[in-house]
Amino acid sequence: MRFIKVGIEKLHGILKKNAYLSKLQPILNALDEALFGTDKVNSLPHIADRIDIKRFMTTVIIALVPATLASIYFWGLRVLAIIVVSYVFGGLVEVAFAIVRKKEIHEGFLVTGLIFPLILPPSTPLWVVAVGVVFGVLFGKEVFGGTGKNIFNPAIVGRIFLSVAFPKIMSSNWQMPFTSGLGGFLHYQNTLDAVTSATPLALLKNQATATSYANLLFGQSAGCIGETFRIGLIIGGVFLIFTRIIDWRIPLTYLSTVLVFAGANSYFFHNSNIAPAGFQLLSGGLLLGAFFMATDPVTSPFTKGGRWIASILLGLLTVLIRSFSGYVEGVMFSILILNVFSPLIDTVVLNIRYRKK
Amino acid sequence: MLKRARQFQGGYRFKNYINQAEPEILEEKTPSQVIIPLRQGFSIEVKPLVKKGDKVFAGQIIARDDASISSPVHSSINGVVEDIKAIDYLKHKVSAVVIKASNSSQEISRLPGYSAQWQKLSSEKIEELIYLSGASSLGKSGIPTRFKSSIISPEDAEHLIIHAVGAQPYNISLELLLKDNSLVNFFEGIKILNKVMPKAKVHLAVNAQKKELIGRFVELSAQLDWLDIYPLDAKYPAAAEEILVTTLLNRKFPYGYSAANIGVVVLDIQAVLGVSEAVIEGKPLIEKTIALCGPSFKENTHLKVRVGTSLNEIVNERLKIEFPQRVILNSLLMGINLNDLSLPVDRTFSEIIAIPENKEREFLAFLSPGVNADSYTRAFLAQWLPGARKSPDSNQHGEERPCISCGYCEEVCPVKIIPHLLSKHVEREIIDEKLVNYGIYSCIECGLCNFVCPSKILLLQHIKKGQQELAKEGLDRDKCVLPGFELKGLEELRSITKK
């Protein structure tokens, strides 16, 4: 520990002297801060809450651990490779911008770098992962000025870019998960001739085959890497709500809107395009999106009223896109669309709340 | 009468901080020298009546000014005036009288005309005793008497709120202050105040967790139909007058002015005890009970000290010396730093808090389990273990980062403003009417937004800066807050805050 400290201090000295190397200062600072924390003291108030952005983001990652571990079990060690690629290439973009801007490296990327792999199909080639994460971080976040100023969720920007740019890679060939023994913990990936299948939403829409709720809940279905182990996502989401890292309003309203909308359909309108409520809830990326992406504080509305409104719209949009568009899944499109409208929703809510009396 | 429990939106419960002051009291020796600031509590600086070389006795009034809003100041020991000099005291420049003790007698001379049968005294006599004792300078705007001790006169007081909540991380012990006989005295004090302010309805707000205390209060107030008791959730800043007025009385508050301006007098337990001691025992306010709290004291206890005793004498011996300490007056959230320990204690002291000045960098701090970490979030073990003890220090615990709009500051804000929104406007120099609309002048500077911010943004400081910038543009507080209120004693308030 001490020799790391001394080492970092020496590096600080070297960077100070060399004009070229000094540009790498943000990297060293980030390392230094992550390892040793801060020596700054408060002015007023004299005490500070122990939460900081590092802990904040770490807590989100902890909440994703069950789903991530399960995804390795289901899809093989290749998932680890995907995660590493995502962190490395996304991190490079982050570091490059920090160096150019002469700013500190921000921790928001820790979550983006993990969520992005979780919303990819398991068979995504590694180079596609790299392209997607670079695009997402660059155009979803950095062009707006970095963490805190971005309008879009960078992971979703990357994912949608891939869907549009490489439709074939992204939508064909959904593997079925390992289900026996140690599964994916011992294999790099499922063999090529392993059973492939459409995702449960597509199965229902195109072949009217319903996957059982138990299979959906425990991950015995095709789907994106991190979205199928839904029981883990629910546990993680509830954990985040309990720790107050995410606002309970968003997942609660989002999920109940989906349930009510789809439920009302089965009772009153009987439109066969709209899947039943329980199936909507437990299929596709809804749980992952509702707990981990719609709740991103930067890109969702910051007013409480705005959060209610946005989540209701999210629910409606998700069901509409799933049922009536050419796509089988609608969660990511809905979140991206609501990202665009968040500032507007906030403005309207603020104008109503603070209208002149 | 016991009323239903009250709650307010926002705020934060500071629970289980280590090293609270034990409910016991140590009487300090009379000091060999005192420095008596001539401005103590709610008062302008008063003119000295003594000069160098004069002999004074404990309890003698050494400075008073009957023409302005003020309360007299006493010598706290028997001795000789050694000097009258200017000192930098709690952010003000004031004159102070230095007195050297001539003997170590504990005697305190009594005020003339006090009586245990105070009911027989005239209102004027009672008010005179309160004024002469100096107790009238306690409370955020003083206690109204006919001697110009507050910005309003006793007839103008419509409500009297007394609070016994203790919602800070460190509080003076309610149990100690209201032990045995003190509880009876406290109630006598309330009755005396009721006589002084006959038009005022009296409201007593008590920490809702202190069930036993509430029970005793209800017992003692059985005959008093003018007294209401409210259990109040002990969330910080429950004792702020802005919160008490809006929560108990459901009235709009003229933020930035005083509760007295709308006819509400807000007092704490010590002020009420001061009143009863003045009237029943004739004691001038020259002794103060002070709680020594926080992990940097060797012992956490209460002290009874004479006003004017230097901090060195009471704090120095008791501070741990292994590492640097920060010594703070009255509140970890809003209190002044007591850097200069040669300064004296005055009437307004109730807690002295010492915490480690922690400039140590912690290895992998963001991964620490945090068994004694206080946080609004539940991201640390301390929030999962019931009864976990929180230990405070002055470290910032994290680097400054851009705002991620997590909304914690809005959730804890007790006056329903959105600090991060205001802060962003100020940072981008968008200073206009909108800020007023968003309630920038409602800020009561409780400091909770700074406390909870995970990005360690100085929201409070940004809000204050925004207020100053607005004032430069002509949108000052008077213009934005005053319409809609009919305030009493505004000139009087200004006469004090200006100086």
Nearest-by-Cβ selection for B379 from A34, A45, A245: A245
Contact in structure between B234 and B166 (CB atoms under 8 Å): yes
**Which residue in A has a C-alpha nearest to residue B411's C-alpha?**
A304
Residue B471 burial by CB count (10 A; 0-12/13-18/19+): exposed, middle or buried?
A: middle
Least Cα separation, residue B365 to chain A (angstroms):
6
Mean pLDDT of B96-102: 91
pLDDT at B419: 96
Looking from the CA of B276 toward its CB, the CA atoms found within 13 Å total: 17
Cross-chain residue pair A45–B169, CB shorter than 8 Å: no
The whole-angstrom separation of Cα A307 and Cα A6 is 47
Q: Contact A297/B404, CB-based, under 8 Å? A: yes
- pLDDT at residue A357 tops 70: no
Using the Cβ of A4 and the Cβ atoms of chain B, whether some distance falls under 8 Å is answered with: no
**3 state SS of A162:** helix
pLDDT band at A284 (very low <50, low <70, confident <90, very high): confident
A313: nearest Cα among A274, A292, A340, A291 = A340
Nearest chain B residue to A52 by CA distance is B454
CB–CB of B363 and A40 under 8 A? no
Cα separation, B385 vs B369, whole angstroms:
11
Condensed to tens digits (0 to 9), the pLDDT of residues B104-129 reads: 778 888 888 888 888 888 888 999 99
ipTM here: 0.90
| Residues facing residue B204 across a β-bridge | B162, B229
Distance CA B439, CA B421 (A): 11
Closest chain A residue by Cα to residue B460: A44
- Chain A residues in contact with B397 by the CB 8 A cut-off are 37-38, 48-52
Query: What DSSP letter does each residue of A46-108 carry, written as one string?
Result: S---S--HHHHHHHHHHHHHHHHHHHHHHH-THHHHHHHHHHHHHHHHHHHHHHHHT-PPPTH
Contact B366 A1 (CB under 8 A): no
Chain B contact for A65 (CB, 8 A cutoff): no
Summarize pLDDT for B350-362 with one digit per residue, the tens: 999 999 988 888 8
The three state secondary structure string of A73-84 is: HHHCCHHHHHHH
- B384 has which bridge partners? none
At residue A195, does pLDDT exceed 90? no
A208 has a chain B CB within 8 A of its CB: no
Question: What pLDDT, on the 0 to 100 scale, is given for residue A239?
Answer: 96
- pLDDT of amino acid A31: 81
- Give the mutation candidate from B406, B413, B418, B465 for the A interface (greatest A CB count, under 10 A): B406
DSSP A276: P
pLDDT band at A236 (very low <50, low <70, confident <90, very high): very high
Angle (deg, nearest 10), helices A126-140 and A154-165 = 130
Interface of B with A in 41-60 (CB under 8 A): none
Looking at residue B334, what is its pLDDT? Answer: 92
Residue in A36, A54, A244 nearest the CB of B376: A244
**The pLDDT value given to residue B376:** 94
Average pLDDT of chain B?
A: 90
A47 and B334: CB-CB below 8 Å?
Answer: no
Structure tokens at B150: 């507050």
* Partner residue facing B378 (CB), from A47, A48, A244: A244
Rounded mean pLDDT of A217-227? 88
Contact A42 B396 (CB under 8 A): yes
Provide the sign of the torsion angle of the four alpha carbons B83, B84, B87, B89, taken in this order: positive
Provide the pairing of β-strand B159-164 with B201-207. Answer: parallel
Which residues 161-190 in chain B show a CB within 8 A of chain A? 169
Helix (H) or strand (E) holding B131: helix B123-133
Q: Which pLDDT does position B499 carry in this prediction? A: 53
CB B238 within 8 A of CB B232: yes
Q: Report yes or no: A115 and A61 within 8 Å, Cβ to Cβ.
A: no
Under a CB-based contact definition with an 8 Å cutoff, are residues B399 and A52 in contact?
A: yes
Angle at the Cα of A78 (from A74 to A84), degrees rounded to 5? 120
Contact B397 A303 (CB under 8 A): no
* pLDDT tens column, B453-475: 999 999 999 999 999 999 998 88
Chain B residue with minimal CA distance to A38? B361
* pLDDT above 60 for B445: yes
- B291: pLDDT confidence band, cut at 50, 70 and 90? very high
The predicted-structure confidence for A53-111, as pLDDT tens digits, reads as follows 999 999 999 999 999 999 999 988 999 999 999 999 999 999 999 888 888 888 888 99
Residue of B nearest to A104 (CA): B401
Please compute Rg for chain B using Cα positions: 23
Distance from CA of A13 to the nearest CA of B (A): 19
| Cα separation, B222 vs B230, whole angstroms | 14
Give every CB contact of residue A19 below 8 A, 6+ residues apart in sequence: none
Rounded to whole angstroms, the Cα distance separating A188 from A175 reads 14
Q: Which amino acid appears at position A188 of this protein?
A: Y
Q: What is the pLDDT of residue A194?
A: 61
B328, A46 in Cβ contact below 8 A? yes
A-B C-beta contacts closer than 8 Å: 190
Structural tokens at position A59: 């807590």
Binning pLDDT at 50, 70 and 90, where does residue A174 land?
confident
Angle, CA A280 vertex, CA A317 and CA A108 arms, to 5°: 65
Closest residue in A to B397 (Cα) is A50
Number of residues written out for chain A: 357
Q: What pLDDT is attached to residue A87?
A: 95
Q: Is the Cβ pair A35, B373 closer than 8 Å?
A: no
Mutate which: B397, B400, B434, B453, vs A, most A CBs within 10 A: B397
Q: Which pLDDT score, from 0 to 100, does residue A356 have?
A: 67
Tell whether the model's pLDDT for residue B429 goes beyond 60: yes
Interface test with B, best of A50, A101, A238, A345 (most B CBs within 10 A): A50
Q: Do B401 and A243 touch (CB under 8 A)?
A: no
Please give the model's pTM, rounded to 2 decimal places: 0.91
Q: What per-residue string of b and e applies to B413-422 under the rule 16 or more CB within 10 Å gives b?
A: bbbebbbbbb
3 state DSSP class of B73: strand
